[in-house]
């Protein structure tokens, strides 16, 4: 449980780097969820909560991207290296293998 708690906070720090509002909101939410369930004794319920927390960590790490307003009508995306993937070029007529 503690390992997952620390992992969520590390992921939060990486995903929301330089965004103090998002960092604080995520910190409060993570702490609140763990605090609300700290007296849980049912092994089944604990495993379910750990699965949910693990899924949240994966979603944060793989799906969230930062954006910064540069002008009134422009937004600059700031992708992390782990979000970048090789792009397969589009082909009108796929070749047969």
Q: Is residue 92 part of a domain?
A: no
Residue 11 is assigned to a structural domain of this protein: yes
Compute the average pLDDT of residues 73-93: 77
pLDDT at 97 over 70: no
pLDDT for 11-60, tens place per residue?
999 999 888 999 999 999 999 999 999 998 999 999 999 999 999 999 98
95 part of a folded domain? no
pLDDT at 56: 93
pLDDT of residue 83: 73
Task: Name the pTM for this structure.
Answer: 0.73
Domain count, the chain: 1
| C-beta of residue 37 within 8 angstroms of C-beta of residue 49 | yes
Specify if 71 maps to a domain.
Answer: yes
CA 21 to chain centre: 15
Least confident of 19-23, 60-64, 84-88: 84-88
Residue 8 inside a domain? The answer is yes
The sign one gets for the Cα dihedral 31, 37, 39, 44 is negative
Domain that holds residue 9: 1-82
Report yes or no on 6 lying in a domain: yes
Assigned domain for 94 exists? no
20 belongs to a structural domain: yes
Q: What pLDDT is stored for residue 10 in this prediction?
A: 95
């Amino acid at each position: 449980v503690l390992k997952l708690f620390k992992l969520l906070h590390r992921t939060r720090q990486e995903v929301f780097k330089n965004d103090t509002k998002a960092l604080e909101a995520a910190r409060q939410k993570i702490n609140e969820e763990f605090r609300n369930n700290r007296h849980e004794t049912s092994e089944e319920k604990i495993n379910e909560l750990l699965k949910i927390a693990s899924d949240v960590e994966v979603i944060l790490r793989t799906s969230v991207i930062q954006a910064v307003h540069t002008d009134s009508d422009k937004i600059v995306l700031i992708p992390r290296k782990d979000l970048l993937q090789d792009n397969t070029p589009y082909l009108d007529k796929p070749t047969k293998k």
